Amino acid sequence: MPTIHDVAKLAGVSRSTVSRVLNNRPGVHPKTRERVLAAVRELNYAPNFAARALKRQRADAVGLIIPASFREPRSDEPRGYVLTEIIRGAYNFFTEQRLALTLLDDQGTFRFYQALFERRQVDGLLFIDLEPDPHMVERLKGLDVPFVVIGNVDAEDVVCVDVDNYESSRRVVYYLYQMGHRRIAFINGPQRRFASRDRRAGVLAAVTELGLSLPDAYDQPGDFSERSGQKAMWRLLEADPRPTAIYAMNDRMAIGAIRAARDAGLRVPEDISVVGFDDIPVAPYIRPPLTTVRQPLYELGAAAARLLVQRIAGQELPSRRVLLPALLVERESVRSLPTEA
């Protein structure tokens, strides 16, 4: 492959001139520029990536740190869809900015991320769902590596972008209320997850604002699995009075809940309404099609990418926490109830 030297020779100029033309530096005679460009085309020249990175001290690449679960075999989790949409959003933005996107998995070790950056293999890091380790984030802040987290993080001054779990949840309860429901129950996710806590907080806020209450019997734990949704529903069905609407923190639990209801001889939504969260691909296909909250996955990826690029450019970021609104997708799993006046 040709080098800048070959181009210079062919164009009859020095290497510096070629470099100037290639980098759009001013102060090159149009005529000369023309000749150089012609030579570039003729030789099909493209600047060596490594040499440029070495000289410029930047990689023109960012690392996307995907959850360690990515390396594990197929599971129930709609990971594929979620991940793809987020990556797509980030990828499109980075590509526009002429930044390469390198896939890396979450090895959980600080040392690994440090090396990545110190080796200048990447100019910045984008973490997807780095939930559990605020400690690592703290250490990361010690480095000067620009990074952005998708999902919430329990650390100060970390740039992160997330769906507005609190507000979305609050909206769901309001929606249910508008549909005439007053006895609204709730299937939660693991409490160690921010998403669960925030969504639950939104529910509590709405319930309070609306003058309702959330008795313990209506506040069931779950672990995001379909099975746990099913079990939670069993308990919910024994509550007295029975709730008229169930809000599950994710679609898989909602699906489990619907199954449990049906097994108990109840119809959804005629006898009991169910709302999920995520809008996973199967949501429209189950019976009944699931009313749920769609996360702005693509936008999450794109927003995070934009923030990361700004950080790499050294800009001060206006806010360190960006919350994106989610969309309530009405399908058929919620019934409108005549309000009990």
Contact footprint for a second copy (CB under 8 A): 1, 44, 46-51, 53-54, 59, 61, 64, 70-71, 73-74, 78-85, 87-88, 91-92, 95, 100-105, 111, 114-115, 118-121, 255, 281-282, 285-287, 298
Q: Return the one option of a second copy, DNA, none that residue 313 interacts with (CB less than 5 to 8 A, by type).
A: none
Question: Beta-carbon neighbour count of residue 4 at 10 Å?
Answer: 20
Cα(first)–Cα(last) distance of the chain, in Å?
80
> Phi/psi of residue 287, each to 5°?
-105, 125
Q: Return the one option of a second copy, DNA, none that residue 61 interacts with (CB less than 5 to 8 A, by type).
A: a second copy
Q: Return the one option of DNA, a second copy, none that residue 139 interacts with (CB less than 5 to 8 A, by type).
A: none
Of 38, 41, 42, 54, the one binding DNA by CB under 7 A: 54
Is the sign of the CA dihedral 301, 306, 312, 318 positive or negative?
negative
d(CA 40, CA 19): 11
Of 38, 41, 42, 51, the one binding DNA by CB under 7 A: 51
Contact partners, residue 107, CB within 8 Å, separation at least 6: 68
Q: Return the one option of DNA, a second copy, none that residue 115 interacts with (CB less than 5 to 8 A, by type).
A: a second copy
Of 41, 42, 56, 238, the one binding DNA by CB under 7 A: 56
Residues in the chain: 341
Q: Return the one option of DNA, a second copy, none that residue 178 interacts with (CB less than 5 to 8 A, by type).
A: none
| Residue 115 binds DNA (CB under 7 A) | no
User: Cis peptide before 269, with omega less than 30 degrees from 0?
Assistant: yes
Stretch binding DNA (CB under 7 A), from 50-58, 252-260, 272-280, 308-316: 50-58
Of 9, 28, 227, 239, the one binding DNA by CB under 7 A: 28
Strands 61-66, 100-105: pairing is parallel
| Residue 41 binds DNA (CB under 7 A) | no
Q: Return the one option of a second copy, DNA, none that residue 27 interacts with (CB less than 5 to 8 A, by type).
A: DNA
Of 38, 41, 42, 55, the one binding DNA by CB under 7 A: 55
d(CA 85, CA 305): 13
Q: Return the one option of DNA, a second copy, none that residue 87 interacts with (CB less than 5 to 8 A, by type).
A: a second copy
d(CA 278, CA 74): 19
CB of 49 to DNA, least distance (A): 8
CB of 12 to DNA, least distance (A): 7
- Between 83 and 272, whose beta carbon lies closer to a second copy? 83
Residue with tokens 């679609």: 251
> What residues form DSSP beta bridges with 294?
278, 327
CA torsion angle 69 70 71 73 (round to 10):
80
Report the phi/psi class of residue 72: left, alpha or beta, with left for phi > 0 and alpha for psi in -120 to 50.
Answer: beta
Residue with tokens 């010690």: 142
| Residue 23 binds DNA (CB under 7 A) | yes
Contact partners, residue 266, CB within 8 Å, separation at least 6: 237, 272
Contact partners, residue 117, CB within 8 Å, separation at least 6: 125, 143, 145
| Residue 22 binds DNA (CB under 7 A) | yes
CB of 31 to DNA, least distance (A): 6
| Residue 27 binds DNA (CB under 7 A) | yes
- Between 4 and 179, whose beta carbon lies closer to a second copy? 4
